[in-house]
Structure 1
Amino acid sequence: MRWQVRWDTIGADGKRRQEKRNFEHRGGGRDETDPDVYAEAFAAKTAVELAEDTYISREAGEITLEQFAKQWRRDHVADPASLETIDKHLAHIYDVPRTERTRRAEGTSPIGHRKLRDLAKSPSLMRRWIKSLEAKGLSPGYIHQIGTTLASILNVAVEDGRMLRNPMHAKSVKLPDAPERIIVPWTLQMVTAARDEVDRRHQQPAIVDLGAGAGMRESEVFAFALEDIVFLGADRKILVRRQIKRVKDDQGRYHLVYDLPKGGKEREVPLSDALARRLTEQIKKRKPVEVKLPWQRPGGKMRTYTLLFVGPGGQPWYRQSFQHTWTAARKAAGAPPPPDENGRFHGLRHTFASLEVAAGADILKVAAWLGHTDPGFTLRTYGHFMPDTRDIGRKAVDEFFEPEQSSESASAPDVPSEGES
């Protein structure tokens, strides 16, 4: 005997349609509550889901993770560089299915070919997939990034009515914690050694100066132009208005483009007298060069800026082309090699932030100079460099409890003692 459950749903086109499912067992007993086995249990479960608007049709959940992820990627709006990073994450999510023997030997657990309805009910698949990423030798921080991308994709699947829940949000699914960053600012001797090496190779020492003296990112330094410097007046400053990116066109070929700084916001950084002198020396040493590049994407509107730093042949620097020079500069400075962040160009940015915070600069101002959207992030990252404020705290309490003594000590004249002239 076979039993069939029928129910009505509203399709994506807004039309009513009937769905059905066959079972070998009717059910009815106290222990016969499995909706995947017993018709009555399934009928009761489906009726509740339809009433609570949580029903997911089998057709909606039949799509594989890879198929849905490709749709998500096609509709996702982001800058080309971010999309390139996402594509690298997706490669680990798709992971071409192999034979079970090869998969076991490699310690991999592909999930791209799994149907969404199966993933929704199997947090264990997510745990095995995360474990397989660790077996590949990926760093905890990178695994965390890949997992965050997958969680975002599955969030959209839930919102689209293809999954009832996101298995990445299950309590048993835990992404590895990214290692805590230990910020070690560079010393003046290290900065000097690095700038001397860049000067020896390309006569462009101010590349290092802008990192340590203005907190600029590497890509922002490469796009830094003569028109971005305000040398005179009380409001002497550096304008951080663009960066250089290396992005792919539709045919997969790389192109250099100008784009807004990270976060899509321009910013200003106070120009110190010492940094102004170093920039002036740089301009005298090597004449700035006009460079024309498309804006934001290959084929975009062309823009021209007078760049302070260009590579051999007059072409702008970008991270990959400058890597050899930076490796030599880092070694000369005695900074640690990657993946230690303090050994990357970002280490100069940490140096700028730490010296500003240690000098007592307002954390909100420092966040703005660095281009951080969340001042709390700036505080968490560099707060341990803040000056000791215990004496300030003690004084505030003293003035609260004993305002008279505080005002008397502040206004009392300095009377010489007997015998003093």
Structure 2
Amino acid sequence: MSSMDTWSQLVIGAAEVERTERGLRLHRLPAWVRRQFADGQLMAMQAQPSGVRLAFTTTATRIDLVTHPVRLAYRGLDRPRGNIDVCIDGELVLRDPLTGGDINEVDLQSGQTTHQPGQPHHTHLHGLSAGDKRVEIWLPHNESVDLVDLSADAQLQPLTTPALRWVHHGSSISQGSNAAAPTQIWPVVAAQQLGLNLRNLGFGGSALVDPFMARVIRDSPADLISVKLGINVVNLDGMRSRTFVPAVHGFLDTIREGHPDVPLLVMSPIYCGIHENTPGPGAIDPASLGTGQVRFLATGREGDTELGRLTLSVIRKLLEDVVKSRSDRNLHYLDGTQLYGEKDAVQLPLPDALHPDVATHRLIGERFAKHVRSERPDGSQEGQRSWLAQA
């Protein structure tokens, strides 16, 4: 067995591992999706390994990982680098900021992209205790990385301890936008608190009720499923009420083809002031260019919901109605404002008017974990068992 074959057995949370000239490239979506719909935004996001980690047990005292980052940058905007987080027996022992790597820089005014090659990045874990330990190397949520080399002074064994498999789909907030490190994104915060094995299908700008995404979820092993829908539909101005409602029904129908009884949670968007009552499309505020902090705005007209135009307030009502209309005792609805609401926005405003910061990611993750443990996950009097206990 080659080293690359060994490494691939340690990868958790990816759909596929592709061999390249550099080493191993991780994909969060399978090849058939990448062939069927090679959208540039989606392809860039699925290549960023949010929620993906190398996980193993070992007695090694020295572990060295070489990666080659590839990051997307925007001229005039200061975007923080990604990090690699290392946890041993559940405790964070190293947060390693990425260096080097390739840069694909986009000029937002001209649309042109320039490529700048760079050097690989080295992550060193030395002086570890010699006893048996569980190691998780969480890869960056906001930069692509190729795995170039992995070495240790003892054997690395794939994890064999079973854990409930949680498949989550959402937008850039679920991918981790504005979080500083891979274990700080809200799905990872929640997964660690609940002891769940996360498969993160959060894709920036790409939670658009796509049929292929429902098929990916349908075909993925899962004990728990959650889908967070709405914000990208609004800020793309991609649907109207007439098309959104049947699309959500079809999305859920497809998931149920593969998981007829798995607990399934439909989540509506968290509070976002710019889109609460104003349709999209969303756009970057031109006044924020060159300031170092991009901000977003809604370009629709406030209160304009004629002809089925969608705002977050409208979407929440539609999603709740969809869930209530289906005869599915394992289907539940969670209003996203229970995770982050209007009052929270006063204390913890969204820095760019769209995405939560580190503290807010933690708040959302903690509240989600609490909700999953609750005895009435759908908010009704009939729900007598926790969503988690149903698995």
User: After TM superposition, is the score higher than 0.5?
Assistant: no
Q: Of Structure 1 and Structure 2, which has the larger fraction of its residues in helix?
A: 1
Whose radius of gyration is greater, 1 or 2?
1
Q: Of Structure 1 and Structure 2, which has the larger fraction of its residues in strand?
A: 2
Question: How does the TM-score come out when normalised to structure 1?
Answer: 0.22
Question: How does the TM-score come out when normalised to structure 2?
Answer: 0.23
Which structure's relative contact order is higher, taking Cα pairs within 8 Å and 6+ residues apart? 2
